């Protein structure tokens, strides 16, 4: 017997449809997107979070989340319910004949020349950060001191990247291919730059956060996004790692001298998941909102016993917000230990109440 209401609660319709690669836009109390069940030119798929249902005006299909997932995976009711009670929606398991939009653009891996350009740009941006007191003050406000900024090679997009690359004998074409330059324009101007470093401390990728309310909030390099900070976490040799959502949440973890990585969103790539399986303990400290909780549950179901979902202290939305509190680190570790203890209890109670699990 399955608790259908519990399954519906664990798989909110909007998040599930998003996970299936459908881009949804809010329109009043509903969301609209392109239907994955027919070749949909216009957004005909409507999703209604209040009733937990969807309906496509193109192919006249509709139902609840169980119906949606069953249709997507081409499984019957019973099999779908069994699947949903055990899993998040795993895109890799979908049949290939399902039409769907990719949920994020996939870029080719960088060439050696492009990697050299990324590293040279990171050096340039780091030098710029030294010149801008107000940007260093902004970072300090968000809990990132200058010592940490130096160690992680944080930077600031000041103007003059093209001249810098030329002075280093680097051509500009690779910089244009990966989005560091747009013609003569410098898209990272005015942004705090956060690089991903390899084991040798070279920058291999970077993102730039706007200082104000500019859009997009994070501008990424046109290159495959990493699990931010993975090399640093692996080099530390800790058997545990904290998984965060955004670059600033990750910076907070680093500032607390903890082993941390950032998903750069709520989606973990296959490579990112494989890397997380390499840690003995994985603490999922994602944002305290719908997408964050949904992603944490999906990750936890993939990672099994090594995963612990960390409930942040009440009223705190993300790790960086906690990092701005004087007692943030202590409060976080308290939450982490409490969540861990709850998890251990859950595991041991399932073992005791389920004779099959005990025998296994
Ligand atoms: Zn349809």
State the Cα–Cα distance between residues 163 and 318, nearest whole angstrom.
38
Residue 4 C-alpha to ligand 1 middle, in angstroms? 25
For the chain, where are the alpha helices, taking DSSP H only? 4-10, 13-19, 65-73, 77-86, 112-131, 133-141, 146-151, 161-167, 173-177, 230-236, 247-255, 270-276, 290-303, 319-323, 328-353, 355-359
Residue 8 C-alpha to ligand 1 middle, in angstroms? 21
Joined together, the tokens standing for residue 105 give 């653009």
CATH number at residue 78: 3.90.580.10
Residue 356 C-alpha to ligand 1 middle, in angstroms? 42
Domain presence at residue 206: yes
Q: What pTM, to 2 d.p., does this model score?
A: 0.69
Residue 44 C-alpha to ligand 1 middle, in angstroms? 6
Residue 49 C-alpha to ligand 1 middle, in angstroms? 18
Residues 260 and 196 in one domain: no
Residues 83 and 53 in one domain: yes
CATH number at residue 272: 3.40.1360.10
Rank 16-25, 150-159, 350-359 by mean pLDDT and report only the highest: 150-159
Residues 117 and 86 in one domain: no
Residue 45 C-alpha to ligand 1 middle, in angstroms? 6
Residues 259 and 337 in one domain: yes
Residues 352 and 234 in one domain: yes
Domain presence at residue 102: no
Residues 212 and 245 in one domain: no
Residue 297 C-alpha to ligand 1 middle, in angstroms? 28
* Residue 221, Cβ density class (10 Å: 0-12 exposed, 13-18 middle, ≥19 buried): buried
Domain termination residue (choose one: 220, 243, 264)? 220
Mean predicted confidence (pLDDT) in 64-80: 88
Residue 82 C-alpha to ligand 1 middle, in angstroms? 25
Residues 216 and 261 in one domain: no
Number of domains in the chain: 3
Residue 65 C-alpha to ligand 1 middle, in angstroms? 15
Question: If pLDDT is split at 50, 70 and 90, which confidence band does 360 have?
Answer: very low
Residue 91 C-alpha to ligand 1 middle, in angstroms? 19
Domain presence at residue 99: no
SS3 category, 304: helix
Residue 113 C-alpha to ligand 1 middle, in angstroms? 45
Residue 39 C-alpha to ligand 1 middle, in angstroms? 7
Question: If pLDDT is split at 50, 70 and 90, which confidence band does 184 have?
Answer: confident
128 is in which domain, residue-wise? 112-220
Residue 46 C-alpha to ligand 1 middle, in angstroms? 10
In terms of pLDDT, which residue wins out, 344 or 187?
187
Residue 27 C-alpha to ligand 1 middle, in angstroms? 18
What pLDDT does residue 318 have? Answer: 96
State pLDDT tens for residues 246-265: 999 999 999 999 999 999 88
Residues 299 and 204 in one domain: no
Residue 261 C-alpha to ligand 1 middle, in angstroms? 38
State pLDDT tens for residues 30-45: 889 888 887 777 889 9
State the Cα–Cα distance between residues 217 and 248, nearest whole angstrom.
12
Residues 43 and 147 in one domain: no
């Amino acid at each position: 017997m399955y608790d259908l209401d519990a399954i519906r609660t664990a798989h909110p319709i909007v998040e599930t449809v998003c996970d299936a690669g459908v881009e949804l836009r809010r329109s009043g109390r509903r969301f609209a997107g392109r239907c994955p069940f027919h070749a949909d030119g216009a957004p005909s798929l409507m999703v209604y979070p209040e009733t937990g249902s969807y309906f496509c005006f193109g192919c006249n299909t509709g139902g609840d989340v169980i119906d949606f997932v069953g249709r997507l995976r081409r499984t019957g009711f019973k099999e779908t319910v069994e699947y949903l009670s055990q899993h998040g929606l795993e895109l890799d398991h979908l049949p290939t004949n399902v039409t769907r939009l990719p949920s994020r653009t996939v870029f080719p891996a960088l060439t050696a020349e492009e990697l050299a350009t990324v590293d040279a740009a990171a050096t340039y941006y780091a030098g710029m950060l030294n010149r801008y007191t107000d940007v260093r003050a902004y970072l300090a406000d968000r809990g990132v001191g200058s010592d940490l900024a130096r160690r992680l090679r944080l930077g600031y997009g000041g103007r003059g990247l093209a001249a810098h690359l030329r002075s280093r004998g680097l051509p500009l074409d690779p910089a244009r291919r990966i989005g560091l330059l747009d013609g003569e324009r410098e898209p990272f101007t005015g942004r705090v730059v956060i690089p991903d470093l390899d084991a040798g401390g070279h920058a291999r990728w970077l993102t730039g956060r706007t200082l104000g309310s500019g859009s997009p909030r994070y501008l990424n390099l046109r290159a495959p996004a990493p699990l931010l900070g993975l090399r640093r976490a692996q080099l530390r040799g800790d058997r545990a790692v904290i998984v965060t959502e955004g670059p600033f949440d990750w910076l907070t973890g680093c500032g607390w001298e903890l082993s941390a990585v950032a998903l750069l969103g709520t989606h973990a790539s296959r490579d990112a998941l494989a890397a997380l399986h390499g840690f003995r303990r994985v603490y999922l400290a994602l944002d305290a909102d719908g997408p964050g909780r949904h992603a944490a549950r999906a990750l936890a179901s993939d990672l099994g016993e090594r995963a612990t979902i960390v409930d942040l202290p009440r009223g705190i939305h993300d790790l960086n917000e906690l990092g701005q509190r004087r007692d943030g680190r202590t409060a976080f570790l308290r939450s982490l230990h409490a969540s861990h203890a709850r998890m251990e209890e859950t595991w041991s109670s399932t073992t005791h109440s389920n004779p099959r699990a005990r025998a296994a």
